[in-house]
Amino acid sequence: MSLLSPVTSIAEGIGYQLELLGSVAARLHHVPGRARLVADQVYQSALQTVHVVLVVGLFIGMIVALQTGIELARIGQQDQIGTIVSLSMAREMGPFITATILAATAGSSMAAEIGTMSVSDELAALEVLSVDRVKLLVLPRVVALAIAAPLLTILCDTIGILGGGFVAQSQLNVSYQLYLDSAVEALRDPARILPLPKDVYGGLFKAFVFGVIVALIGCAAGLRAQGGALGVGNATRSAVRDAIIAIIITNYFITWALYQS
Amino acid sequence: MSQSPDPVIELRDVVKSFGPQRVLDGLSLAVPRGKCLAIMGPSGTGKSVILRHVIGLIRADSGLVAVEGRDVAKLSRKDLSALRKRMGFLFQEGALINWLSVGENVALPLRENTDLGDAEIRERVQAKLELVHIPDAWEKMPSQISGGMKKRVGLARALITDPEIVLYDEPNAGLDPEISQSINDLLRELHERLRVTALLVEHRVRCIRTVADEVVFIEKGRVQIQLPPHEFFHSDNPRLVQFLGTDPD
């Protein structure tokens, strides 16, 4: 095996994912005709993940409040806890945590479903029947997660901020009303382009991009699966791993583009 | 059969390797219009690989794979898609889409590739389900039906576009003798009624006797023997006698 083969393999994988992204973009006009498939996927990926997002989001908000609150209390600035929790949740934690949960649930599920179709000749059957598998399998999943990820992120942000308030009141002696006032005030900073709080729409934009990434990487891994159950297992593992890496790298560049200036 | 001047399916000197293993080694065969050619041979000799070459799922390393005189490997994506719409393929396990009902599996090519309305599609699908003797199966899911029924659904789907060429990959595999015979009778009936050109990969003698017009025996990547069924199964060729002596039928 050549020393370059892992690099070649990664490059091939990224190339395939980008090609798939182009194929999906070229078929976006078919979305209205796929509304039912998109709705099914939104149900599977979003509604069946809501409880996980709520639990994780709640505790992330509480952890952020506790960690930063303890330090702020030492310098007598615990009144600022609402600002820090709301900005953390809206800018970073909400979209990132939601995308990670989606990678582990919806992304892995997509890789396993499509991978199983691949190793059981169902994808070959679609090809033989001249059925466009990008239109049938990939497009609805990508659109569904592009819709679901921002919606779940709103939930995650909200429950996280509320959880932080609970910690602020019970552990840091900051009244709930003061906490909420500072949390809401922090999110009022208007953007230059849109008449919306920049931290909110920036986070939701991230969530949208992460949703597309998770679905695209999950579908690509499934489509390339081969070699029976072992191949499906490998596809599922690589889908989750690659999605999380891609989310973190993309997150840095989006953050840089939104906040650097 | 192989000397037909106008074969619908033709493979000439086809070579195909998977890694170090050469599966097809200069294989040649031809199927005339309206005839059914059966392929027999030991496991792992590339019988299914031949079918996948004909439908364009695999490309040969060298040699010609032609359908109606057109080199399949040189067809554009669009032309290959057009050719496939005139062909049917019955996969070994049916290859039904698991999340679609039986009816929607059969309807899939019409829904995806035509502008037909729902009523017209339902009518055509129901006709095919009746043709394969499962008129009440529309709402069932693939996980709820038997192996024999999956084969019938796969056959209905393969025939939904009224193809002129049909490729069967072991239609009897994994079925009990009674269901096998009903599938064989069905294939014969379809062959007689629709006059399709067919390529059949099968191990079961009874299936080949019922359905095929001619049989080839392949081994070592080439056609070793080609005869009509009644001569094939009474041949005194020592290799054939040895092979057929182990046949389940």
- DSSP string computed for B190-231: HHHHH--EEEEE---HHHHHHH-SEEEEEETTEEEEEE-HHH
Rounded distance, CA A53 to CA A56, Å? Answer: 5
Tell me the chain A residues in contact with residue B142 when contact means C-beta distances shorter than 8 Å.
Answer: none
**Cβ-count burial of A206 within 10 angstroms (0-12 exposed, 13-18 middle, 19+ buried)?**
buried
Rounded distance, CA B27 to CA B11, Å? Answer: 7
Tell me the chain B residues in contact with residue A118 when contact means C-beta distances shorter than 8 Å.
Answer: none
Rounded distance, CA A88 to CA B152, Å? Answer: 58
Determine contact, residues B14/B53, Cβ cutoff 8 Å.
yes
CA distance to partner chain A, nearest, from residue B55 (Å): 7
Determine contact, residues B209/B233, Cβ cutoff 8 Å.
yes
Question: For A86-95, what is the mean pLDDT?
Answer: 94
Name the residue with higher pLDDT: A93 or A193: A93
Question: For A57-70, what is the mean pLDDT?
Answer: 95
The domain spans of chain B are: 1-86+164-249, 98-162
Label residue B2 by pLDDT band (50, 70, 90).
very low
User: What's the Rg (C-alpha) of chain A?
Assistant: 21
pLDDT score recorded for residue B247: 52
pLDDT score recorded for residue B186: 81
Residue in A closest to B82 by C-alpha: A130
A-B C-beta contacts closer than 8 Å: 49
Is residue B16 helix, strand or coil? strand
CA–CA distances in Å: residue A26 to residues A21, A23, A39 = 9, 5, 20
Question: Per the CB < 8 Å rule, is A124 touching B57?
Answer: yes
Question: For B193-198, what is the mean pLDDT?
Answer: 86
pLDDT score recorded for residue B5: 59
**Cβ–Cβ contacts within 10 Å for residue B218, how many?**
22
pLDDT at B1 over 90: no
Is residue B25 helix, strand or coil? strand
Could you say which of 3.40.50.300, 3.10.20.30, 3.40.800.10, 3.30.360.10 is the CATH number of the domain covering B1-86+164-249?
3.40.50.300
Q: Is A193 on the interface with B (CB under 8 A)?
A: no
CA–CA distances in Å: residue B59 to residues A211, B18, B22, B84, B198 = 36, 11, 14, 15, 20
Structure tokens at B243: 């092979």
Question: Per the CB < 8 Å rule, is A125 touching B81?
Answer: no
Determine contact, residues B65/B14, Cβ cutoff 8 Å.
yes
Name the residue with higher pLDDT: B37 or B191: B37
Q: Which of residues 56-75 of B touch A (CB under 8 A)?
A: 57
Q: Is A23 on the interface with B (CB under 8 A)?
A: no
pLDDT score recorded for residue B248: 47
Q: Is B90 on the interface with A (CB under 8 A)?
A: no
Task: List the one residue out of A201, A248, A205, A6 whose CA is nearest residue A103.
Answer: A248
pLDDT score recorded for residue A195: 64
The CA-based dihedral angle spanning residues B53, B59, B64, B67, taken in that order and rounded to the nearest 10 degrees: 40
Is residue B188 helix, strand or coil? helix
Read off the amino acid at residue B42. P
Task: List the one residue out of A261, A249, A41, A35 whose CA is nearest residue A142.
Answer: A41
**Average of per-residue pLDDT values in chain B:** 89
Which among A5-19, A56-70, B191-205 has the top mean pLDDT? A56-70
Q: Helix A198-223 to helix A139-172 angle, to the nearest 10 degrees?
A: 130
Task: Measure CB to CB from residue A128 to each of B57, B97, B113 and give the nearest one.
Answer: B57
pLDDT score recorded for residue B190: 78
pLDDT score recorded for residue B235: 87
Report the residue count for chain A.
Answer: 261
A129, A134, A137, A232, best to mutate vs chain B, most B CBs in 10 Å: A129
Q: What percent of chain B has pLDDT over 70?
A: 96
**Residue A39 belongs to what H/E stretch?**
helix A35-45
Structure tokens at A63: 């952890």
The domain spans of chain A are: 33-259
pLDDT in tens, A138-164: 999 999 999 999 999 999 999 999 999
Rounded distance, CA B248 to CA B206, Å? Answer: 10
CA–CA distances in Å: residue B93 to residues A124, B89, B149, B227, B241 = 12, 12, 11, 28, 29
**Average of per-residue pLDDT values in chain A:** 92
pLDDT at B172 over 90: no
Q: Residue A178: what are its φ and ψ, rounded to 5°?
A: -65, -45
Pairing, β B197-201 against β B21-32: unpaired
What pTM was computed for the model? Answer: 0.86
Q: What percent of chain A has pLDDT over 70?
A: 96
Question: For B74-94, what is the mean pLDDT?
Answer: 91
Question: For A17-45, what is the mean pLDDT?
Answer: 93
Q: Which of residues 111-150 of A touch B (CB under 8 A)?
A: 116-117, 120-122, 124-132, 135-136
pLDDT-wise least confident of A73-77, A122-126, A186-190, B234-238: A186-190
Rounded distance, CA B195 to CA A259, Å? Answer: 70
Question: Per the CB < 8 Å rule, is A125 touching B95?
Answer: yes
pLDDT at B154 over 90: yes
pLDDT in tens, A116-126: 999 999 999 99
Question: For B221-232, what is the mean pLDDT?
Answer: 91
**Residue B64 belongs to what H/E stretch?**
strand B62-67
Question: Per the CB < 8 Å rule, is B112 touching A128?
Answer: no
Residue bearing tokens 């609402």: A82
pLDDT score recorded for residue A1: 56
Question: Per the CB < 8 Å rule, is B113 touching A131?
Answer: yes
B91, B151, B157, best to mutate vs chain A, most A CBs in 10 Å: B91
pLDDT in tens, A221-239: 999 999 889 999 999 999 9
